[in-house]
Amino acid sequence: MSDPEPAVSRAFVLAAGLGKRMRPVTATVPKPLVEVAGKALLDHALDRVAEAGIGTAVVNVHYLADLIEGHLARRAEGPSEGPSTIISDERAALLETGGGIRKALPLLGDAPFAVLNSDSFWLEGPASNLRRLIETWDAQRMDVLLLVAPTTTSLGYEGAGDFVMDADGRLERRGERAVAPFIYAGVAILSPSLFADTPEGAFSLNLLFDRAIAAGRLFGMRLDGQWLHVGTPEAIRAAEERVKASARVL
C-alpha cells in the first residue's frame, strides 16, 4: 500500500527580488545567495522545504538570474536530499510576489502549495515549523495560512507588527497607529483558487491576503522558535551571532 499523497507537495520560493536594502552586498550577489551561518539563504529555505516532506520547489528568478540557476544546478548535483527544483523565469519583467506566483501556477498545480520568501530565516523549535503549518492547513476554513512570529521577540525587526490573531487563529490587519503582536514570517500556504480574477503583471500577495481577510479565511500559526529578520548587512551579523548562541545552548 503506497503512502498517501501529502496535503502540500509543492512549494514556491520567491527569489527574484532586487535586494536593495542589502546593498552593497547585493551589487554582485543576489540576496537569495547571501550566506548566513555558512549557507546561502536560498539553501536554508530549500532545506526547510525538504525537511517538511515537500518534494518539488518552484524558484522564480529575475535579478542576477544566471547565478541563482547555476547555484541550483550545483545543489542538484550535490549531496542535498532535495527538493527537486523548477525555475520560473521572470527575466523579462519583475512581477512582485503575487504576479510571480500567478505566472508559475501551471508549475504548481491545482492543490494548495507553500510559499517561502527566500530570506525567511528562523531557529526551529522541537519540530519543523513548515511541517506544522502543513498539518494545520484546513482547506474547508482557509484560503491562506500564514506563519507568524511574535513582534517583540523577533531579532532585527523594529516595526509595529502586521496582524492580530483571535483564539481560532483568524487574522486581521493591525489598526492604523496600533502595534500588532504578530508579524508575517514570510512562509504561507495558499489555495490556488485565490488567484482567480487577479490582474496580469505585477501585484503583491497583500492583495490576496486582504481578499482572504474580507472573506474571514486568512489564518495564522505561531512560529515555535525565533524569527530572524535578515534584511540588511548588519542584520546578517546579528543573525549569525544568534545562531552561534543557540548552538552553544544546545
CATH of the domain at 205: 3.90.550.10
Residue 35 banded pLDDT, cuts 50, 70, 90: very high
4 within a domain of the structure (yes/no): no
2 within a domain of the structure (yes/no): no
207 within a domain of the structure (yes/no): yes
Structural domains counted in the chain? 1
116 within a domain of the structure (yes/no): yes
5 within a domain of the structure (yes/no): no
pTM, 2 dp:
0.93
162 within a domain of the structure (yes/no): yes
pLDDT at 6: 66
> What is the spatial distance between Cα 220 and Cα 16, in angstroms, rounded to a whole number?
25
Domain range for 30 is: 10-249
176 within a domain of the structure (yes/no): yes
Mean pLDDT of 22-47: 91
Task: Work out the mean pLDDT of the chain and round it to a whole number.
Answer: 91
The per-residue pLDDT for range 93-149, each reduced to its tens digit, is 999 999 999 999 999 999 999 999 998 889 999 999 999 999 999 999 999 999 999
Tell me: pLDDT of 1 over 50: no
105 within a domain of the structure (yes/no): yes
